[in-house]
Amino acid sequence: MSLKYRLILMNFLQFFVWGSWLLTIGAYWFQTKQWSGTEFGAIFSTMGIASLFMPAIAGILADRYINAEKLYGIFHIAGALVLFTVPLVNDPTTMFWVMLVNMMFYMPTISLSITVAYSALKGTNQDIIKNFPAIRVWGTIGFIAALWMVSLLGFEKTSMQFYVASIASLLLGLYAFALPVCLPLGKGQSKSIVDTFGLKAFSLFRNTKMALFFVFAMLLGAALQLTNAYGDTFLHDFAKVPEYKDLLAVKYPAIIMSISQISETLFILAIPFFLHRFGIKKVMLFSMIAWVLRFGLFGLGNPADGLWMIILSCIIYGMAFDFFNISGSLFVETQSDPKIRASAQGVFMMMTNGFGAVLGSWVSGIMIDQYFIKDGGGFDWPGIWMAFSTYALVIAILFAILFRHKHEPEKMGQIAH
């Protein structure tokens, strides 16, 4: 099997594991287990909590002590074992701790998969900016395939979704040991405490441009958490309105939301053109503007005559997510020493899915409880989405003013190899 197809299979399974349960765990939680919404919010926080430290730790290990592909395989095998025990859990508190352990194994594999792919592509003198997006798009296809598989097999409300995820994670864990070798390039070179503990990647914060980049990555990570946490619930709530309850978007919200992932496949492939043509600052700015539209269209839309706005919002999500997440990881790779490539990706993951996710969950929860609960009960969804849209607009304006980066296409092309 060629290198391209080996990396494609890795990315497909990587996000198939996540797609098997991420958007459908809510149906299992509320419809089958009938646990509370407050306790469910804690489940989504496990991703952020795990991302605060696990990607950085995994990056340190991969840079200094163990091959990245081997560590990647170990984490997925461990995650498979944890996912297999989820159906045995019968109370929400235990569920929180089990899912936290699962996320501690899964979240670092996202940045590790990027490290393995970048290392393999550079090892064969390929342009990562040109070739990686066409490989990464299969991760999104894997997510969609898992989501549709679970939905069409009737597993949305059952524990079978976790068995599907467990089997996929085990297969990927075993397959990882056959991936291209990704050696710890920083091994045996320690001369200081910082080097010994693999903390050199944090020196990137000394660079004003990189520090600003990570801060805005954190703020955009909060925006991503908002759409993950509230998007599906938003559509489910229309079932409480008689004229909407029998509409397609209300009956099958997971399918409607999957349009967002389908859109990703198109925008991922457009990343090389946009990065070479406009540079990272404009591409990130495009992402922020897309977040403004993503939230704003949700605020104006409904499942009937406003369905087109909800669908358009899902399409725009592809640009909002990819132009920030994928382009951001490419930018970090081009700005980092190869000896700390895994650690640098871990720091990027920590800022987005760690601090960003926790910030998004915590602040949005407080704001919604304080300002967006109707007098008769229920959520003021138009107000919630417009507040989120305003948040994204403020970030975009500040980023345009504060982040300074000169786009040099020829230099980016050299570094990308």
pLDDT in tens, 285-333: 999 999 999 999 999 999 989 999 999 999 999 999 888 888 888 888 8
Radius of gyration of the chain (CA): 21
Give residue 196's pLDDT band: very low, low, confident or very high (50, 70, 90): very low
Q: What are phi and psi of 24, to 5 degrees?
A: -115, -5
To the nearest whole percent, how much of the chain has pLDDT over 70?
92
Q: What is the reported pTM?
A: 0.76
Give residue 30's pLDDT band: very low, low, confident or very high (50, 70, 90): confident
Q: pLDDT: is 200 or 101 the higher one?
A: 101
Whole-angstrom distance, CA of residue 145 vs CA of residue 19: 8
Mean residue pLDDT across the chain: 85
Cβ proximity of 150 and 161 under 8 Å: yes
Q: pLDDT: is 326 or 173 the higher one?
A: 173
The two tokens of residue 346 are 């871990």
CA torsion 299-300-304-310 (nearest 10°) is: -60
Give residue 409's pLDDT band: very low, low, confident or very high (50, 70, 90): low
pLDDT tens for residues 339-351? 777 778 778 888 8
pLDDT on residue 197: 44
pLDDT at position 394 over 70: yes
pLDDT tens for residues 229-259? 677 678 878 888 888 888 878 877 777 888 8
Please give the DSSP secondary-structure letter assigned to residue 354. Answer: I
pLDDT tens for residues 90-108? 999 999 999 999 999 999 9
What is the CB neighbour count within 10 angstroms for residue 188? 7
pLDDT on residue 415: 44
Whole-angstrom distance, CA of residue 220 vs CA of residue 224: 6
pLDDT on residue 162: 97
User: Which distant-in-sequence residues (6+ apart) come within 8 Å of 254 by Cβ?
Assistant: 23, 24, 27, 147, 151, 156, 232
Cβ proximity of 183 and 54 under 8 Å: no
Cβ proximity of 347 and 200 under 8 Å: no
Whole-angstrom distance, CA of residue 287 vs CA of residue 61: 32
| Helix, strand, or coil (residue 290) | helix
pLDDT on residue 19: 92
Give residue 186's pLDDT band: very low, low, confident or very high (50, 70, 90): low
pLDDT on residue 361: 73
pLDDT at position 198 over 60: no
Buried b / exposed e over 384-406, threshold 16 CB at 10 Å, is bbbbbbebbbebbeebeeebebe
* Assigned fold of 3-184+197-415: Growth Hormone; Chain: A; (1.20.1250)
Whole-angstrom distance, CA of residue 230 vs CA of residue 26: 11
